[in-house]
Amino acid sequence: MMPAALRRLLARCAAAFCLAVLGLGPAAAEVHPVRGFLPDLKFTLQGAGGATVTQADFADKVVLMFFGYASCPDICPTTMAQLAQVTEALGPQADQVRILFVSVDPHRDTPDILQAYVDQFDPHAIGLTGNEKTIADLARRYRVAYQIERPASTEPGAPYEVAHSRGIYCFDQQGRARWLASDSESQEDLLAALRPLLR
């Protein structure tokens, strides 16, 4: 059975999604261990240059995974900048960590667009996407909530909003889920949770 504290954190991530839809504030910060309660890292997605990327490409790396989209106006760039600062603070150990940014907006976010986006924050970050079903299945696996709004116009390229939950998932070198953090967690607490996983 899942611990009550983990249920509360997942609920906060879902609550953040609902608050984003409503245009309200962020959920409370927290880092919570999830080993044994969330599934191991497993996916097949598309990366830059049409490459197929799976969890096997990150063997022996600690993975920080975040779901969002490249045209997100606030949550995603703030979180990517935060994660980039965390990896920078690791110094030489940063090579042991990879940030995976998974798009929940596959209609606009091509793999190359995503890679160009994450390159602005961290040269080792990876932008990933897939078709609608692949993204929906992966989001369901990690209990990520998202909603793509209907465009205001039927014109091609008409803008639309995407709301999504805001958890940062950490997986160790063996691909095991280790902790889940709010996107509003402090850099110090993220580092404190990350360093014990590094060699």
HEC profile of 51-92 = CEEEHHHHCCCEEEEEEECCCCCCHHHHHHHHHHHHHHHCHH
pLDDT value at residue 131: 95
Q: What is the pLDDT of residues 43-99, one digit of tens each?
A: 999 999 999 999 999 999 999 999 999 999 889 999 999 999 999 999 999 999 999
**What is the SS3 assignment for 137?**
helix
What's the domain range around 94? 4-197
Q: Residue 79 and residue 117: Cα distance in Å, rounded?
A: 13
Give the count of domains, the chain: 1
Name which of 46, 77, 75 is nearest 144 in CA terms.
75
CATH code for position 55: 3.40.30.10
Q: Residue 108 and residue 128: Cα distance in Å, rounded?
A: 13
